[in-house]
Structure 1
Amino acid sequence: MRRKPVPEMLITTCLFVLCIAGCATMEAKDDAPVELAIADRWSGDFPVDRLGLLPDGQQQSRVGYIDDLRTFAAVWQALMPDQTIPAVDFARHLVIFSRNVDFYNRTTIMKVLLAGGGLEILAMETMSAVPVEDRAAMALAVVPRAGVKFIRAGERQIPVAAAR
């Protein structure tokens, strides 16, 4: 049995389409979010009158980060006064936080995604209609700092300082 020759134009068109599809796939893959491993996590009640302990520019934010032992120790003491502060290697890790700002809702950090240098914190909260007054529920998590340039905080981006 003899095959019919395939027109060159058809072959060229197929190769062109495959090339474009391959390039589009490669581009999307480079920007795809990567889930970061959470090394440790905690949650508890944080006194509203101690919000000044959070890093400058993050005291009113729903999410943020801590990158030094002094700040972490002060925040930990306010959040978990009866527990020993855990060891964190701030050269390799960040402590990120998520808290409610309107209603008292228990919260926990479920997933952390990194894409294009931006860290997105995905947290789960209970639902209540009790306004935040003297305490707010807060969650902390330890994540790798490699590749993190900023934290996504809604429409805002919180720049992350280079390791010290």
Structure 2
Amino acid sequence: MTRDDRAGVGLTVCLFLFFITGCATLPAEEEKTKDLAIIERWSGDFPVADLALLPNGQRHLRAGYIGGPHAFAAVWRAFKPGEKIPAVDFSRNLVVFSRNVDFYNRTTIMTVVLAGGGLEILAMETMSAMPIDDTVAMALAVVPRSGVDFILCGDVRVPVTDGR
């Protein structure tokens, strides 16, 4: 074996070890984050008297989801009275919501991130100290359902069920 051959073998071994070491430090696939497409979004006022229309277990939370057409239709009628209910394919999508539970702050859903089956809703709000009275500012967005196991709301995990 010549000196050049040994150098080539040494380089190949180093590259192989570097590749193996690099792969060992890569994060697992389920730990990767992915920004989900926001198919459609709306912001507006939602009557406090109609908070019972939000899904059970999510009425007091800042964020959650609506997984079926009947619940969405009821929420929409309170959210945008007199406006046509948008068509949402609930076999492929979810409607997520975000709101401030402490103050009346206008809000818009900016980004929805999926990581390890958990969906996190990132919203932008105005900053006010106006108390919540008759209405709460709320935002809704349609996002893909695939891969979503739960909605993250602070430390709370809201399980996403197949409740179409």
1:100-136 CA-to-partner distances (Å, cap 9, x unmatched) read: 1001100000011111111010100000011112111
After TM superposition, the score normalised by the length of structure 2 is 0.88
Displacement of 1:15 in angstroms is: 4.1
1:21 matched residue in structure 2: 22
Amino acid across the alignment from 1:161? T
CA contact (8 A) 1:107 1:139 kept: yes
1:68 matched residue in structure 2: 68
Amino acid across the alignment from 1:86? P
CA contact (8 A) 1:151 1:159 kept: yes
Give the CA RMSD over aligned residues. 2.2
Task: Measure, in 2, the Cα distance between the counterparts of 1:13 and 1:88.
Answer: 53
Asked whether 1:58 is paired with 2:58, we answer yes
Amino acid across the alignment from 1:20? T
After TM superposition, the score normalised by the length of structure 1 is 0.88
* Aligned-residue identity in percent: 56
Asked whether 1:120 is paired with 2:132, we answer no
Structure 1 gap ranges (5+): none
CA contact (8 A) 2:67 2:162 kept: no
Displacement of 1:162 in angstroms is: 2.3
Q: How many aligned positions are there?
A: 162
CA contact (8 A) 1:67 1:90 kept: yes
Asked whether 1:82 is paired with 2:94, we answer no
1:134 matched residue in structure 2: 134
Task: Measure, in 2, the Cα distance between the counterparts of 1:116 and 1:39.
Answer: 21
CA contact (8 A) 2:47 2:135 kept: yes
2:44 matched residue in structure 1: 44
Structure 2 gap ranges (5+): none
